[in-house]
Structure 1
Amino acid sequence: MYEEFAQVYDELMNEIDYSKWSDYIQRIFFNSKKEIKSVLEFGCGTGNITCHLAQKGFELTAVDLSEAMLTVADEKVDRMGLKNVQFYLGDMSNFQINQTYDAVISCCDSVNYLPDMEALQSFFYSSYECLESQGMLLFDINTVTKYKKTIMDNTYVYDLEDIYCVWENEPHFSENAMHFNLTIFEKNADQTYNRYEENQIQYFYNIEDIHRCLTSIGFKNIKYYDFGTFLQGSNEGERVQVVAEKR
């Protein structure tokens, strides 16, 4: 999964400020009743936030469904000389491990890739089981408003030094889904190009759905922030940061 995409992911996403994102997560950790030392990260991708948090001294266990993404992440950790990171290949909706953590996180709208309410609830259950008492669950979601008013059916072209990518958004609002269709050309050393396609789907969830699932599992003190702030978030914003506590 994501075999070729993993190699170009960081270049296509280079506008994301992962340092600022990890600082925001750390500020949320400061509000925890429990001191956060150990962190389980679902959907770690190529390990950008993983590395920033590890540099801050947290013990990271990072999980992703893509072996190719984990290979890139592991190489990044080795280059940086980080010793406080472990990687696992696994599915965030049914992951099990014989260990508990002070916090479980999932960043960069990874939760939007869960295909239905059953998978969403399974992810919350897996997270709950992996948390210490009073441990914290953090994740962010793209809202329906963002899909309908910002992402829409736009097409984007990335013309980078060694990569040319056409990114087409294809909304399926009746299915509460957004399809992303990427055609990528990657330049070789001999100036020829490899062409491949990447297709992904994200699904829409609103705060009411999320709240119902979290409370049914036993999470408490659930907060919804306008992403990047500590102001009240809503379905009318573009990204919501969710914070919940295990009983």
Structure 2
Amino acid sequence: MGKEFIELFEDWADSYDESVTGHDLEYKAVFEHYDLILSIVANRSFGHVIEFGPGTGNLTEKLLNKGLQVTAFEPSRSMRKKAIEKLGDRAQIKEGDFQSFETEEDIQTIVSTYAFHHLTDEEKAEAIDAYGKLLQPGGKIVFADTMYESVEAYKRAIEKAKKQNFNNLAEDLEREYYTTIPVLKKMMEDNNFSVHFEQVNDFVWIMEGIKR
């Protein structure tokens, strides 16, 4: 995951759960249907799951409650601490990120929520290439993240945030590496995944890919 955002994660750890539950008006639309988004990702997961960017462990908890084996990789020390406090000895949360992780296990599902946009498009392509080599046919990638149908739609989202005086949101949209569905679709198909996308709120889409 983009190392340039580590300080942001560290600063956000204490207030993250408050933000995702809709208490921050500026980000309320980003986290609309948050629990549903996590449930969709968890319900489409199976087997041994790798989770990237677990943050404070909200998706991790849902995966564990389904009886799944989860290995989570989180680059932020503060986020890891919050997740471990929440989940106790149920948690297997290691230092790592989308591109820096080690596993010798047989993996069936790779999941992430609200995190893949911290990679550039080049880094996203490299990561998906690695996951394509890790997963066997039938294995899954299930990511929920902010993405856009086109570059024009992305630009409109930035302008809308500015008009609403959501300056922090606008700054985030301009600073981080949000991409488009056609770009992600090509990355997935180039690595032998069947993939489909579905929108859950004005910002977040579910990307579900199955290894052919």
Preserved CA contact (<8 Å) 2:52 2:74: yes
Preserved CA contact (<8 Å) 2:20 2:34: no
Match of 2:128, SS state, is: helix
Match of 2:179, SS state, is: coil
Stretches of structure 1 that go unaligned for 5 or more consecutive residues are 30-35, 157-166, 172-176, 180-200, 229-236
Letter in 2 for 1:203: Y
Preserved CA contact (<8 Å) 2:37 2:144: no
1:119 deviates by: 0.4
Change (3 A) 1:118 1:47: same
Please report the RMSD computed on the Cα atoms of aligned residues, expressed in angstroms.
2.5
Q: Is the aligned partner of 1:205 residue 2:210?
A: no
**Which residue, 179, 191, 195 being the options, matches 1:217?**
191
The structure carrying a bigger helix percent of its residues is 2
Whole-angstrom CA distance in 2 between matches of 1:27 and 1:147: 32
Preserved CA contact (<8 Å) 1:112 1:203: yes
Q: What is residue 36 of structure 2 aligned with on the other side?
A: 20
Name which structure has the greater RCO, CA cutoff 8 Å, separation 6+.
Answer: 2
Whole-angstrom CA distance in 1 between matches of 2:169 and 2:102: 34
Q: Is the aligned partner of 1:7 residue 2:23?
A: no
Change (3 A) 1:53 1:18: farther
Q: What is residue 101 of structure 1 aligned with on the other side?
A: 107
Preserved CA contact (<8 Å) 1:18 1:52: no
**Which residue, 39, 44, 49 being the options, matches 1:39?**
49
**Which residue, 149, 152, 157 being the options, matches 2:157?**
149
Stretches of structure 2 that go unaligned for 5 or more consecutive residues are 1-5, 23-30
TM-score (norm 2): 0.77
Alignment deviations for residues 188-212 of structure 1 (CA, whole Å, 9 cap, x no partner): xxxxxxxxxxxxx322211111122
Preserved CA contact (<8 Å) 1:39 1:105: yes
Whole-angstrom CA distance in 2 between matches of 1:68 and 1:146: 31
Whole-angstrom CA distance in 1 between matches of 2:58 and 2:76: 15
1:74 deviates by: 0.8
Change (3 A) 1:146 1:10: farther
**Which residue, 170, 178, 182 being the options, matches 2:173?**
178
Letter in 2 for 1:245: I
1:13 deviates by: 2.3
Q: What is residue 192 of structure 1 aligned with on the other side?
A: none
Preserved CA contact (<8 Å) 1:94 1:122: no
Change (3 A) 1:3 1:131: same
Alignment deviations for residues 79-109 of structure 1 (CA, whole Å, 9 cap, x no partner): xxx63x311111203433222311101112x
Preserved CA contact (<8 Å) 2:41 2:143: no
The structure carrying a bigger strand percent of its residues is 1
Match of 1:22, SS state, is: helix
Preserved CA contact (<8 Å) 1:96 1:126: no
Q: Is the aligned partner of 1:131 residue 2:135?
A: yes
Give percent identity, aligned residues only. 21
Tell me the number of residue pairs that the alignment of Structure 1 and Structure 2 aligns.
Answer: 190
Change (3 A) 1:63 1:147: farther
Letter in 2 for 1:104: I
Preserved CA contact (<8 Å) 1:136 1:243: yes
1:238 deviates by: 3.5
Whole-angstrom CA distance in 2 between matches of 1:95 and 1:61: 10
TM-score (norm 1): 0.67
**Which residue, 84, 87, 90 being the options, matches 2:93?**
87
Letter in 1 for 2:178: F
